[in-house]
Structure 1
Amino acid sequence: MTVALRPVRAGDLDQFDVEFAGPHGPGPYQWFGHTPSVRLRRLHQERELLAGDENMLSVTSDATLVGRVEWFRKAWGRVDTSACWEIAIGLFAAHRGHGIGTEAQRLLVDYLFAHTRAERIQVTTDPDNIAEQRAAEKAGFSFEGRVRRAQWRAGTWHDQLLYSALRTL
């Protein structure tokens, strides 16, 4: 199995709409309600979902589209001096549980450290999302702690577990 990241293509957006359309597509920890893809398509047309504060690459396994990775600018102080990237992943249901997510996150960390000045990359996940916790740790992230009531999803607030990877010299 060869996992790779590549720029998002217009057809990928159509497949994301199909795969992530309802609560069963993204899974219980990534369903935030129906969201129009108009903004995403506009950003793709303007900058191919790269070189901004919100970015995306497609994930492939053996050249087949299987999901996407995203990264967002976050700050622990003033954004001009204390910014980092927070990453997220969404795999199509049929491709979860095969190690693709771990490898895709590892590839994204390597990409961001090679092509941005980030010192820190972080990922958050629901305390019940054991698979993502394992994937994050296997991808090189270290557990930092619990952020209480940080995410609104499914009609209630949810804690998030915070993990980070730091640039090595």
Structure 2
Amino acid sequence: MANPRAERVAKRVQQIVAEMLGNRLKDPRLELVTITEARVTGDLQQATVYFTAHNEERMKDAERALNAARGIIRSEVGKQLGLRLTPTIEFELDRLPETARSFEDVLAAARHRDAQLARQRGTEYAGDADPYRKPREAEATAAAERQFETNTEATAHREAAAGAQAEPEAQAGATASAESDNAGER
């Protein structure tokens, strides 16, 4: 359905049929019926409306009820759409929920088997549970390491400079005391 107009008409058909199920059609077989999708051909002549119901027995009854009300639904669709020709309407049971449930069952079984295998093997992660380093964490770690190296180098330079200043002062102090000793002897 690549035609944008056909897509718009299909959405509108879905809305109209859903509104009719909720407001106009009073058949008890249609109480828990949901319209899931509508598709319209490119020439807007045929519309297929997909529906689902609460359980399997209700689906068959709902299909019979929708087919019985097809004429009323089609006339309402024609009035509200305002097209030159009203599309014929077919109702089909939507199998997507059943397919989704079967996929969920398969995935649950696979997860269960994986958990059993992991317990049997006694496996653990070789490294971290999350082996991928986050970019910000890596940058923060690198910045902290650079800061530490810079601080260490600065401390070493200060200590070396302080030690170099202490030596001439010590020598000057020793010379001054030696001179004072010599002066005291005179």
Would you tell me which structure has more helix in proportion to its own residues? 2
TM-score normalised by the chain length of structure 2: 0.28
If asked which structure has higher relative contact order (CA below 8 Å, sep 6+), I would say 1
Q: Which has the larger radius of gyration?
A: 2
Q: Which has the higher strand share?
A: 1
TM-score (norm 1): 0.31
